[in-house]
Amino acid sequence: MDDLTRKQKQVYEYLCSRAAKGDAPPTLDELCAELSLRSRGSIHKHIRALVDAELVHSMAGKQRGVRLVDSDHEGGVAPSDPDLLPFVGRIAAGVPLEAVNTQEQLLVPPILRTDRACFVLKVKGDSMIDEGILDGDLVVIESRDTARNGEIVVALIDGEDATLKRIVQRPEVIELWPANPSLSVMKYSPERVSIQGAVVGQMRTYT
Amino acid 72: pLDDT? 45
- Secondary structure E strands in the chain: 84-92, 104-107, 118-124, 138-143, 152-157, 161-169, 174-177, 186-188, 193-203
CATH 1.10.10.10 domain residues, the chain? 1-78
SS3 68: strand
CATH 2.10.109.10 domain residues, the chain? 84-203
pLDDT, mean of each 10-residue run, the chain (207 residues): 79 82 78 79 84 79 67 42 74 56 73 88 92 94 93 90 94 96 95 93 83
What kind of architecture, by CATH, is found in domain 84-203? Answer: Ribbon (2.10)
Amino acid 178: pLDDT? 96
* Identity of the residue numbered 106: L
- CA–CA dist 207, 203 (Å, integer): 13
17 is catalytic: no
SS3 194: strand
Which of 75, 70, 60, 59 has the alpha carbon at shortest distance from 25? Answer: 75
Dihedral (CA of 125, 126, 127, 130) sign: positive
List the catalytic residue out of 71, 122, 124, 127.
127
Amino acid 98: pLDDT? 47
Amino acid 76: pLDDT? 41
3-state DSSP percent of the chain in helix, strand and coil, to 5? 20, 30, 50
127 is catalytic: yes
List the catalytic residue out of 36, 80, 165, 189.
165
Phi, psi of 177 (to 5 degrees): -95, 125
The CATH classification number of 1-78 equals 1.10.10.10
